[in-house]
Chains A and B, each alone.
Chain A
Amino acid sequence: MSSQKPIVELAGVGKTFRGPEGEIVALDGIDISIKKGDIFGVIGMSGAGKSTLVRCINLLERPTQGKVFFDGQELTAMTAPKLRQARRSISMIFQQFNLLMQKTCLKNVCFPMEIAGVKPSEAKKRAMELLNIVGLPDKANAYPAQLSGGQKQRVAIARALASDPQVLLCDEATSALDPTTTRSILALIKDINRRLGITAVIITHEMAVIEEICTHVAILDEGKAVEIGMVEEIFSNPKTEAARKLVFPDGLPVSHLKSERVVRIVFNGGTSYEPLIASLAIDCGVKVNILGADTKNVGGKAFGNMLIGLPNDPNEAQKALNYLKSKKDITAEEVTDYNE
């Protein structure tokens, strides 16, 4: 699906706000490259700089450092009219939907085309098609105030598609919605990505959103992109403290059973833990103690972390360790400082 060509590229992007209380560094040296067709997630705690980052992509916020490229062209070097032209290929949806409240859904969807000078009759026809795509053909003449949150976001998505964009930026697009509606909106975005080949950038503070649809993810912490990569790589083996906090928000649950030797097993998307423990018992005749586990199901594969306590018998412990290390789908390493 994804080709090698980056559609969005941030090179050394920094943003410093100058406020009455001094300077706030919202972004610091961000290098991100998003390829065509990707669903790229950006996750971080509140205040990490996610919104600022996504707003730097279409230059709603002008970076104080670095360059932003879209489809090979430098946005940060464009004149205002050129930039407005480029923005038509980068659509955006928002947490608060931001629909025109005094206009019908149809008029809302027509709006980007109106700006671009599309003939009204043509715009109307296209808008009806788009409302169909998002599943709201019967709401054409309703006003946004008459719709539910999920329906509003669907209209906003239809509006975002009206300018035939290459990129769809979503800033906490599902954060005002309940879990079921969130899932259906995410499914719609995924569908649009697949069918229309539109690259999506998903900003969220919710792990579940990333798990649900993203191919790539960047973890943002205090204005820095601390980890960037494939979702499975980052989630199966979070290297930084910020990433670990996001992946395991409650920390690793720890049992109070004492074991001399402790092993950390990281699941990389192969087997999940139940069959593993079972086969340990069956294949080696060793019973281990699960001290804590936090595994997640990402796209049907298991990811996560588990701590197990090895038996106190040195032979059995070694046997179990060797067995675990021989497994391809997982990485196992002994934790030496567990009991300290």
Chain B
Amino acid sequence: MSEFFSSPAMQNFIAILQDAIAILKSETAMGIWETLYSTVLSTLFAYIIGLPLGVLLVTGEKGGVRPLPKCLMSALNFVVNILRSVPFLILMIVVLPLSRFILGTSIGTKALIIPLVIAAFPFIARMVESSLRETDKGVIEAAQSMGASPFLIVWKVMLPEAKPSLISGATIALTTIMGYGAMAGIIGGGGLGKIAINYGYYRFKAIVMWAAVILLVILVQIFQSVGTRLAVKSDKRIT
């Protein structure tokens, strides 16, 4: 037994393991915190832009509750489509100078928020759009017949009626943004992504990398199951 543990191969493995544990001990807490913080903040900011935009995409079209000029609608759709079609990695590199301009830095967790928001808001706008399109036309019509203004129809009818679908969408947004954030480890973003890439890819510390990946997976699972549960619970159409 002791022979087995004292064999050179085993000695080597134990050293690697100890090294990995030491790294994880000193980095994991910070990594999780940075990941959560960048994900939640980015999602929040992306919704601040994406939610109203998604609403406009529905209400502003011909036959919507508050039609907008056709050229404006085409412009909005164009911007959303363009941003949606640029791969995130490229968007990130292109946008980093903007981070430097706004935040004074182009590396680290904070700098990451800007490209994440820019990548996520068009995608969120589309998800909000599709959630709101599910609202029954008849219910909107009923509200119109009661003399509700377009604002009230959005605020009191469309958004509340689409709540379960919006919650599902937000869950998808949150987990997707977390995935994007991990990718940003490549260009100096923080969080679990940085740990995985720095140690696993650049320094061949596979254990550290896999540990970071597993932590990411666990975080995604938690968000997803909480989100799904909230969506189901909030839906009063199910009896």
Interface of A toward B, CB cutoff 8 Å: 58, 60, 81, 83-88, 90-92, 94, 96, 98-103, 111-112, 114-116, 143, 145-146, 163, 169
Contact = CB atoms under 8 A, between A and B. Distances in A.
B138 A98 contact: yes
B147 A84 contact: yes
B145 A115 contact: no
B111 interface: no
Contact of A145 (B142, B161, B238): B238
Interface residues of B, number: 25
B232 to A, nearest CB: 13
A102 B159 CA distance: 10
A102 B146 contact: no
Given A102-B163, A145-B239, A114 B141 contact: no
Nearest to B66: A80
Most A C-beta atoms less than 10 A away, residue of B142, B236, B237:
B142
B59 to A, nearest CB: 14
Contact of B161 (A83, A101, A143): A101
A94 B143 CA distance: 12
B22 interface: no
Interface string B141-166: 11111111100100011001101100
A98 B146 CA distance: 12
B234 to A, nearest CB: 8
B103 interface: no
A115 B141 CA distance: 14
B146 A111 contact: yes
A169 B142 CA distance: 11
18 contacts: A58-B145, A60-B144, A86-B147, A87-B144, A87-B147, A91-B145, A92-B142, A98-B136, A101-B237, A102-B160, A103-B236, A111-B143, A111-B146, A112-B146, A143-B239, A145-B236, A145-B237, A145-B239
A200 to B, nearest CB: 15
A115 B148 contact: yes
A37 B201 CA distance: 81
Given A87-B147, A94-B138, A98-B138, 19 more contacts: A60-B144, A87-B145, A90-B145, A91-B146, A92-B142, A100-B160, A100-B161, A102-B164, A102-B234, A102-B235, A102-B236, A102-B237, A112-B147, A115-B146, A115-B148, A116-B147, A143-B236, A145-B238, A146-B239
A157 B238 CA distance: 23
Contacts of B163: 102
A81 B151 CA distance: 12
Contacts of B145: 58, 60, 87, 90-92, 169
Nearest to B148: A115
Contacts of B143: 111, 115
Give the one of A60, A85, A86 with max B CB within 10 A. Answer: A60
Nearest to A86: B147
Contacts of B237: 101-102, 143, 145
A255 B234 CA distance: 64
Contacts of A103: 160, 236
A140 to B, nearest CB: 14
Contacts of B164: 102
Nearest to A92: B145
B139 interface: yes
A98 B139 contact: yes
Nearest to B163: A102
A84 B149 contact: yes
Residue picked from A101, A103, A146, most chain B C-beta under 10 Å:
A101
Given A102-B163, A145-B237, A146-B239, A94 B142 contact: yes
B48 to A, nearest CB: 23
Interface string B97-119: 00000000000000000000000
Contacts of B156: 111, 114-115
B173 to A, nearest CB: 21
Contacts of A58: 145
Nearest to B146: A112
A7 B239 CA distance: 42
B148 A84 contact: yes
B157 A85 contact: no
A2 B35 CA distance: 71
B152 to A, nearest CB: 6
Nearest to A57: B145
Contacts of B238: 145
Given A84-B147, A115-B156, A98 B142 contact: yes
B142 A88 contact: no
Per CB-CB distance, the 6 closest pairs between chain A and chain B, nearest first, are: A87-B147, A84-B147, A98-B142, A98-B138, A92-B145, A143-B236
A53 B142 CA distance: 16
